[in-house]
Amino acid sequence: QVQLRESGGGLVQAGGSLRHSCTPSGLTFDNYTMGWYRQAPGKDREWVAAIISGGKTYYTYYADSVKGRFTLSRDNARNTVYLQMNSLKPEDTAVYYCAISQVTDWVPGDGMDYWGKGTLVTVSS
């Protein structure tokens, strides 16, 4: 059974930083796409970033709203992917979710197969 363990939410002042991590378990496939999404109160879920694993290499993609501020990285030894969130703004306040798709030619707008439970990020002004 695929599970995604997330951590790293919290409260931070505008301009601050947080790091969100996602550790998958129970995977039966080596290559996958891991995506981050967020949902702010009263708004639709929004895609934030994605990392596509292809053997020893990986590729990252970011929504325009976070490009230059958020960075994805992967620690293979810990089997964990990190979303480093810098220069946070109040409009970044949301529940952040990581998710996995078995599709490696994934593009934003495609679905995900497995979802984490989400962690709350609150950015105060």
Q: pLDDT-derived band of residue 30, with 50, 70 and 90 as boundaries?
A: confident
pLDDT in tens, 60-88: 999 999 999 999 998 888 889 999 999 99
Percent of the chain with pLDDT over 90: 74
pLDDT in tens, 112-123: 999 999 999 999
- Find all residues with CB under 8 Å of 92, minimum gap 6, and list them: 38, 66, 85, 121, 123
Q: Are 87 and 52 in contact (CB under 8 A)?
A: no
Strand blocks (E) in 14-64: 18-25, 33-39, 46-54, 57-62
